[in-house]
């Protein structure tokens, strides 16, 4: 667990969902050549293995909305990359 995750849980919300996406695939305004190269490579890998090591930001956003609309009974729910993909495509 990360330090931020521990701090969020310490707040004492009734329910908390923590998303742990892999590398976020998105278009940026600023120029980051190495990041662009990495995204091109990861985009190709994602085409073969969609949930392996990356996720589009749109998929993460849809997963967040799904968590709000369909809250679970768990006090703290942690979603890894594969589950984010599943929720984001549902």
Query: Is 64 domain-assigned?
Result: yes
Residue 65 lies in a domain: yes
Residue 15 and residue 9: Cα distance in Å, rounded? 9
In this structure, is the dihedral angle defined by the CA atoms of residues 20, 23, 25 and 28, taken in order, positive or negative? Answer: positive
User: pTM to 2 decimals?
Assistant: 0.70
DSSP letter at 69 equals H
Tens-place pLDDT, residues 3-29: 989 898 899 888 999 999 987 777 766
Phi, psi of 13 (to 5 degrees): -60, 155
What percentage of the chain reaches a pLDDT higher than 90? 33
In a domain, 17, yes or no: no
Q: Which residue has the tokens 């997963």?
A: 63
* Structural domain harbouring 81: 43-88
Per the structure, the count of domains in the chain is 1
- In order of 16, 46, 84, the CA distances from 72 in angstroms are 10, 29, 15
Q: Is residue 76 part of a domain?
A: yes
């Amino acid at each position: 667990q990360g330090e931020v995750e521990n701090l969020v849980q310490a707040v004492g919300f009734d329910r908390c969902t923590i998303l742990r996406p892999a590398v976020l695939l998105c278009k940026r305004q600023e120029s980051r050549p190495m990041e662009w190269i990495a995204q091109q490579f990861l985009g190709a890998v994602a085409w073969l293995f969609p949930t392996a090591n990356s996720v589009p930001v749109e998929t993460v956003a849809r997963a967040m909305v799904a968590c709000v609309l369909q809250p679970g009974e768990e006090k703290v729910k942690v979603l890894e990359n594969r589950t984010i993909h599943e929720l984001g495509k549902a």
